Chains A and B, each alone.
Chain A
């Protein structure tokens, strides 16, 4: 028995969003009389951080503290339309829609403040802590709460905004096949170091090093969380998880956790991440979205590392001990590649 070490590399160019009949998302913003804001979305937060990110984007655009913003993603019956949480589109599409809506609401809030302060709305700015003041004269100020109350109770105006962001359908050019399916791309490169046991066929990932370029990391901790968790999910797909049967046909496929290999906390690899920020010109504050990209590069990187370690090229995931052993047998043993 010999343990062979190998290193594999993969990089990806990941499109943000998709191109199926146009890709829109909408947002509605309104204030309550106490100057707090509600953002209505149909976009779903299933733990990836949609609520946190749209809350930050709304607060930054409105010029109010993040604590004064509530994001409601509850109901696609009553909320404004969203295509959904997939294709890494949430931050980019929904974030942009929130900016449009929040800008409209902010303008109305500033008009109300201007009327109260008897100044021009163009000369007002927000401090992000709940105050609106005259540029250059911080003592000429009104709170966002008072401005919103004035709009409602004295001026008869709703401090509200509607936003939509649409990437229109890109038709395929019939002559060339060219199209522009998305407006921006995120990128990643990843190195996996593995050990392969040539007696058992088992693959162990020792270390993962990666760099992800995500536009602006609007919430860096959430980005890191997505990357750590997503890469682990990719590792799990690369080595363990499959709904395919192993013997002898599909009817013997896994139907529950006693048959579907779902690794636990003892099976993770150390992962060091560099997050690179190259803000997207059309992204909300430059944001793109880590989304699905976090799970992708680790799979080819591990496959390449296994090839480097023992010379077995596995072309169907997951890379099970059986496939490695069959490859070793076909090759007449391990054929370690150059160390790199």
Chain B
């Protein structure tokens, strides 16, 4: 298959890779760029584990044609601080909002997008924002509580 050059910003850094025609963004992130934070859960848009932000808007990287992010900005959980000091990361830890952790990067990105656009969401808005992400372990309540804590503490949009 033909290879095409692709340039985009990943978590603020310029990336330039060659991608195959039809490659999806998730595979490009994981295989070509080496960012393994977006997870391959169902590969059909049903689980949300691959959620990334494309120009600040949450999207399913498994269903996103890689070529469509040419010149755009992509954010993954890999762009969050490695020491876990982001308010959302701290709230997730304080509320035990992860068990196996597979859904966590997608949850963090969905929550990040919500708090950027709606710094003080109510519970219904949090539930709606997370409704594309499924979790086997936590029962969702700890995740909802973590996002609400950040929303209440002065709100999002301050990262």
Most central of B132, B135, B141 by chain A CB within 10 Å: B141
- B129 smallest CB distance to A (angstroms): 9
Minimum CB distance partner of B140 in chain A: A265
Is the beta-carbon distance between A257 and B100 smaller than 8 angstroms?
no
Q: Which of B116-159 contact A (CB under 8 A)?
A: 126-128, 130-144
Most central of A48, A225, A256, A265 by chain B CB within 10 Å: A265
Is the beta-carbon distance between A233 and B136 smaller than 8 angstroms?
yes
A83 within 8 A of B: no
Is the beta-carbon distance between A268 and B134 smaller than 8 angstroms?
no
B47 within 8 A of A: yes
Return the contact of B99 from the options A221, A225, A262, A263 (Cβ within 8 A): A225
Contacts of B132 in A (CB 8 A): 264
- Complex Cα–Cα for A264 and B96 (A): 18
- B137 smallest CB distance to A (angstroms): 5
Minimum CB distance partner of A222 in chain B: B96
Is the beta-carbon distance between B143 and A265 smaller than 8 angstroms?
yes
Is the beta-carbon distance between B46 and A258 smaller than 8 angstroms?
yes
Is the beta-carbon distance between B140 and A258 smaller than 8 angstroms?
no
Is the beta-carbon distance between B44 and A257 smaller than 8 angstroms?
yes
Is the beta-carbon distance between A225 and B130 smaller than 8 angstroms?
no
- Complex Cα–Cα for A34 and B70 (A): 52
B101 within 8 A of A: yes
Contacts of B42 in A (CB 8 A): 256-257
Contacts of A137 in B (CB 8 A): none
Q: Which of A177-218 contact B (CB under 8 A)?
A: none
A229 within 8 A of B: yes
- Beyond A46-B100, A257-B134, whether A264 also contacts B142 by CB under 8 A is no
Contacts of B128 in A (CB 8 A): 266
B98 within 8 A of A: yes
Q: Which of A234-267 contact B (CB under 8 A)?
A: 256-258, 262-266
Return the contact of A257 from the options B46, B135, B138 (Cβ within 8 A): B46
- Complex Cα–Cα for A256 and B136 (A): 15
Contacts of A222 in B (CB 8 A): 96
A232 within 8 A of B: yes
Contacts of B131 in A (CB 8 A): 264-266
Contacts of A262 in B (CB 8 A): 46-47, 134
- A295 smallest CB distance to B (angstroms): 10
- Complex Cα–Cα for A264 and B127 (A): 9
Return the contact of A228 from the options B44, B127, B139 (Cβ within 8 A): B139
Minimum CB distance partner of B102 in chain A: A47
A324 within 8 A of B: no
Contacts of B47 in A (CB 8 A): 257, 262
A94 within 8 A of B: no
Is the beta-carbon distance between B127 and A265 smaller than 8 angstroms?
yes
Contacts of B46 in A (CB 8 A): 256-258, 262
- A121 smallest CB distance to B (angstroms): 40
A113 within 8 A of B: no
Is the beta-carbon distance between A47 and B139 smaller than 8 angstroms?
no
- A206 smallest CB distance to B (angstroms): 15
Contacts of A258 in B (CB 8 A): 44, 46
- Complex Cα–Cα for A232 and B42 (A): 21
A271 within 8 A of B: yes
Q: Which of B98-120 contact A (CB under 8 A)?
A: 98-101
Is the beta-carbon distance between A229 and B144 smaller than 8 angstroms?
no
Contacts of B133 in A (CB 8 A): 264-265
- Complex Cα–Cα for A257 and B137 (A): 16
A102 within 8 A of B: no
- B101 smallest CB distance to A (angstroms): 6
A231 within 8 A of B: yes
**A–B complex contacts, Cβ < 8 Å, 27 sampled:** A46-B100, A47-B98, A47-B101, A225-B142, A228-B139, A228-B141, A229-B137, A230-B139, A232-B139, A256-B42, A257-B44, A257-B46, A257-B47, A262-B46, A262-B47, A264-B131, A264-B133, A264-B134, A264-B140, A265-B135, A265-B140, A265-B143, A265-B144, A266-B127, A266-B128, A268-B140, A268-B141
Interface residues, chain A, with chain B CB atoms under 8 Å away: 46-48, 221-222, 224-225, 228-233, 256-258, 262-266, 268, 271
- The 6 A-B pairs at the shortest CB distance, nearest first, are namely A232-B139, A257-B46, A47-B99, A47-B100, A265-B140, A229-B139
Additional A-B contacts beyond A265-B143, A266-B127 (5; CB < 8 A): A47-B101, A221-B96, A228-B142, A230-B139, A262-B46
